[in-house]
Amino acid sequence: MTKSKTLKGLAVGALLAFGASSPVAQAADPIRIPILNWSSQIVMAHVMAQVFEEMGHKVEL
């Protein structure tokens, strides 16, 4: 239960932090998000990839 609350809190915080930002120019290179062998990090990597993609950025996992 603690992990799910932590993940939800991080996701909400990321959405609030990035949701209020203004549009910026596209970078030539995609944002690269590493995936490590920890279940919580794998989930957060995919969550952050979706956040960046919704903002219009290219993302590589």
| Cut 0.75: pTM above it | no
E-strand stretches of the chain: 31-32, 59-60
CA distance 20 to 4: 24
Q: Which residues of 26-38 are buried (b: 16+ CB within 10 A; e: fewer)?
A: eeeeeeebeeeee
In a 10 Å sphere around its CB, with 0-12 CB exposed, 13-18 middle and 19+ buried, how is residue 54 labelled? exposed
Could you identify the residue written with the tokens 């939800």?
8
- Mean predicted lDDT score pLDDT of the chain: 82
Model pLDDT for residues 25-47, shown as the tens digit of each residue: 667 889 999 988 888 899 999 99
